[in-house]
Amino acid sequence: MNDVLRQAERLGLPVGAAELPAVQELVTEILGTVRSLPVPARPAVSRAVRAPSTEDDPLNAVTWWTDAEPTSSGPLDGVRVAVKDCIAVSGVPMSAGSALLAGFRPDVDSTVVARLRAAGARIVATTRMDEFGLAAGGDTGVGGAVRNPFDPDRTAGGSSSGCAAALHYSTVDVAVGADQGGSVRVPAAWCGVFGLKPTSGLVPATGSVGIDHTVDHLGPIARTTADLARVLNVLAGPDGADPRQSGLPPPVDYSAAEPRDLSGVRLGLLRTPGEPAVQAAFDDVVASLTKLGATIIPVDLPELADAGALCFGTTVEGTTALLAAGGNGYQWRGHYWPELARAVADGWRSNAGDLGLAAKAVLLAGSYLQETYRGEWYAIAQNARSRLVSGYARALDGVDALLSPTTPGLPHPVHADSDLARVRRGWAVLANTVPANLTGHPALSMPLAEAEGLPVGAMLTGHHFDEARLLQISAVCERELGTRPTRS
């Protein structure tokens, strides 16, 4: 009786004394039927891992060093890959940057890891991240701030912070991150490497921990455009388990040769607010692209003013619902992850108090919205995304891609005035990147500029499923302009 009354109180659902015995009897029958389902036996997998040291991880980028060997040979033979700590590698602890998942070891590879290993790659590390990807400063996850390779007193950006920083180690060739609001592109911009958020659904997210199925993306981070293309060739395509992948186009070769120059390329110039140093460096990029033959066309996208509200309107309540559902969510067809749900439940009972400030604020705000409005504001935000999608379609009409700074500012100092300041600045850095997560367009950050000795990213945002064009443009820019600052 007490359990039924407690659930009734939790739901705000009156249950009268006269009907309570019948309700209790029916609830018991329902639960008994559910628990009669067979639970598949899956042997626990434990792979050897090694904690990083200051000698082999001076930037604090790595969660675990490991060695998940190739399962076959292929186009990535010999390539050493680091993956974000929210992407499952069988037998390797995965925390998503949070104490909530302490001790969780996935038994099965995520789809992207399975594809990498089948293509000949070796997974050598899982990398640090902001807690559950809920900020982009690179300094809110378990293990502390990831250091910027160009100035260790600044952060690497996030939330795929360790992925981008680890590319400055000789032991890592490429990385795969997750991007819910800019989490591949921001650290790529601040660490002077290339980062691609593919079109929504192009790369399956099966076996990864996200924050809302409608904004979650996985994508490659690499030192070169060619490496981005090589990895995307392996990652892209349906896996039959991720319902976000409906309507994919036929496969293409993303490694196709780049054009000689940018003649005939039309880029829509998107001006966004930012620090003067970033704006000046970006203006230099625009001038350089013009010299390479690109036609630069100023475009207006007033719908961007709604992006922040749309982001919070979807992800805050979405994250709360997703975690309440064990990281899986409800009411979609595809592969569910019961082991993750068990780990979330166990962690919630034992470690919920150790969640960071950003996570607690998001979950409490989401819980309030759910309890008070029953999903009304989530529905409003989801429907309102169509205006932003229409705005991007208009801005992209007649151009190959939009061009903007990846971030509005330079990398953050490691030491913030307070935890509150750290969270706020970790959200503000997403101003230019989050719209493409809401619209699903592909976006690629290129390390083409610098200011005060620090990297400044230039971002291309393209038509849906037109990653090949973005990669071709990026390859020309890399070949003709080089990357900046020069890596040591």
| Residues with a known catalytic role | 84, 159, 183
Give the torsion sign (CA, 260, 264, 268, 269): positive
**Exposure pattern of 106-134 as b/e (b: 16+ CB <10 Å)?**
bebbbbbbbbbbbbbbbbbbbbbbbbbbb
3-state secondary structure of 401: strand
d(C-alpha 459, C-alpha 269), whole Å: 10
Q: What is the DSSP letter of 441?
A: -
Nearest CA among 432, 398, 480, 355 for reference residue 102: 355
Enumerate residues 6+ apart whose C-beta is below 8 A from 320. 362, 363, 365, 366, 367, 369, 370
Phi, psi for residue 15 in degrees, rounded to 5: -130, 115
Helix then strand then coil, % of the chain, to nearest 5: 40, 15, 45
Tell which phi-psi region holds residue 386, choosing left (phi > 0), alpha (psi between -120 and 50) or beta: alpha
Distance of CA 88 to the CA centre of its chain: 14
Q: How far is CA 4 from CA 11, 57, 224, in A?
A: 11, 51, 58
3-state secondary structure of 83: strand
Residue whose structure tokens are 């390539």: 79
Enumerate residues 6+ apart whose C-beta is below 8 A from 374. none
